[in-house]
């Protein structure tokens, strides 16, 4: 995927979400309770920054899926894209650069524990999955923090801070990556 495709994907995602928001506000209100169901599905495109260990920070984008089992616990999945450029390292040092594509693809399953307190809910994230960096797939686990703000009955706005940890290289040349991600997530309840 190239950057142009990623930006088009993100723009289309936000356009679709905006269409749902405007359609929701134009429908006549019915006497429905304003509380949401306990078990819910949420689809959420996101945009953020991805800071790969030893490389330059880049724009990240993708989609997240959340399934809230109850008010406190949930599970889900993530598919994200970013880049791990080495331009700065190349200019300032004589370090041997990593070979392969600088595109980062990360995906996996996640579990969340929320701390419900009304319309604003902080939560913890545990992530298990794969990260593809410079042609190598690596088992990845991650820990994170997030906050969900309920904006309307079917929408939420989230921001998350995640630390994805995995090992790159082999034998004596192996090192541990700690890649940080900060994301702004717009969720729609299905």
Mean pLDDT, residues 168-183: 81
Give tens-digit pLDDT for 56-112. 778 899 999 999 898 889 999 999 998 877 665 566 666 555 555 578 888 899 999
- Locate the domains of the chain by residue range: 3-28+38-189
CATH code given to domain 3-28+38-189: 2.40.160.20
162 pLDDT above the threshold of 50: yes
Helices then strands, each counted (H, E), the chain? 2, 8
The secondary structure of 13-42 as a DSSP string is HHHHHHHHHHHHHHSPP----SSPPSSEEE
Give tens-digit pLDDT for 19-43. 444 444 444 545 444 454 577 899 9
At 101 the pLDDT is 58
């Amino acid at each position: 995927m190239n950057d142009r495709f990623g930006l088009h994907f993100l723009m289309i995602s936000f356009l679709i979400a905006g269409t749902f928001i405007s359609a929701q506000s134009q429908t006549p209100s019915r006497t429905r309770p304003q509380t949401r169901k306990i078990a819910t599905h949420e689809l959420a495109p996101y945009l953020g920054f991805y800071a790969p260990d030893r490389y330059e920070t880049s724009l990240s984008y993708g989609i997240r899926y959340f399934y809230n089992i109850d008010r406190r616990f949930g599970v889900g999945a993530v598919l994200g894209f970013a880049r791990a450029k080495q331009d700065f390292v190349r200019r300032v040092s004589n370090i041997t650069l990593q070979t392969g594509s600088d595109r980062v693809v990360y995906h996996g399953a996640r579990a969340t524990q929320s701390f419900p307190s009304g319309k604003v809910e902080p939560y913890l994230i545990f992530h298990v999955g794969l990260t593809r960096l410079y042609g190598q797939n690596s088992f990845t686990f991650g820990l994170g923090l997030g906050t969900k703000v309920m904006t309307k009955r079917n929408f939420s706005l989230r921001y998350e801070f995640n630390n994805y940890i995995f090992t790159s290289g082999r034998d004596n040349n192996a090192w541990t990556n700690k890649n940080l991600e900060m994301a702004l997530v717009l969720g729609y309840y299905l």
